[in-house]
Amino acid sequence: MKVLSQSTAFGGMQGVYSHESEACQCEMTFAVFVPPQAIREPCPVVWYLSGLTCTHANVMDKGEYRRMAAELGLIIVCPDTSPRGNDVPDELTNWQMGKGAGFYVDATETPWSTNFRMYTYVTEELPAFVSQHFRIDMSRQGIFGHSMGGHGAMTIALKNPDRFRSCSAFAPIVEPSTADWSVGAFEKYLGDDRSSWRQYDACALVNDGARFPEFLIDQGKADAYLETGLRPWLFEEAIKGTGIELTLRMHERYDHSYFFISTFMDEHLKWHADRLS
C-alpha cells in the first residue's frame, strides 16, 4: 500500500492510498478516514461510492463527513469510481462511459472487460485489502453512495444482505437499465442481452427476489436528473409487498450537488451508526 497523504482531522486520520489492483489491472486510489476510537478497538466501516465523473476525492473534499464519523466512531472508505491509467480504455468525449463511469459492474465486453471490474473490486478485493491495513470490524459494515454510487450501494446491498447491515443513498439511479444516462454504458459494458443487466439494477433485483431490510434515500426535487435518470418512485413501487422498508425523503429546492449531499451527510451517518452499533 502506497501512502499518498495523511492528515489529522477531528482526532482521527484522513488518508489517501493506492495499490495495484488485480481486479482492475491497474493502480487504484482510495481514501480512508479512521476515527480516534480505532486507537483502542476495531471500528465499524461504511463504504461510500461516488457518482459519475467523480474520484475518491469529491466526497473527501466536499462531503463533510469527518466530524460526525469521528463522533460516531465510523471508518469511512471511499473507493475510486473506475480504473485509471494510460492503458485503460476510455471515451474522452463521453462523461457517462469509461474513466469516472465504472457503474460498479463487472464488464463482459471488449475492450472494457480487462479493467472495468468494479463490482469485484469494491465487494471483494478492496475489502480484503483494507482489512489487512486498518482496524476494521468487518462484521459491522454499511454502504451508501450518490447517484451512480447510490445505484452501486443499493445493488451491492441487495446482493450481499448477509454482509451489510445498513444501506442509504443520495439521489440514486434506481433503475439504470432504463435510465437515459446509464443505458449506453450498460450496453457497452455488458452487451445486448438485457437479462444480464438485471444483476446491476436495484428494481430488477427486487423483482427477481433480492431482499434487504431497509433503505434510506434522500432526493432533491430541484435535481435536474430527477425525471429521466433517478426516478426514486420506481424503487418505491418495486418494493411494495416485499417487506423491504424505505424511508424516501424528497427535499424542496435541493439539486444534485455536494451542497445537497453535505446537508444530509450527518443524518446518513447516524442512520448507519444506529444499525452498526
- Please count the structural domains in the chain: 1
3-state secondary structure 43-100: EEEEEEECCCCCCCHHHHHHCCCHHHHHHHCCEEEEECCCCCCCCCCCCCCCCCCECC
At residue 181, the pLDDT reads 87
> Which position has the grid cell 425523503?
249
Catalytic residues: 147, 223, 256
Mark the ranges of the chain whose per-residue pLDDT is less than 50.
Answer: none
pTM of the model: 0.97
- The CA distance from 30 to 18, in Å, is 6
Task: Let me know the angle formed at the C-alpha of 198 by 194 and 202, rounded to the nearest 5 degrees.
Answer: 140
Report in angstroms the alpha-carbon separations of 230 from 64, 135, 220, 244: 23, 35, 10, 19
At residue 58, the pLDDT reads 97
CB atoms within 10 A of CB 181: 19
At residue 20, the pLDDT reads 98
- The CA distance from 166 to 160, in Å, is 11
- The domain of 182 spans 2-276
- Dump pLDDT digits (tens) for 208-230: 999 999 999 999 999 999 999 99
CATH code for position 21: 3.40.50.1820
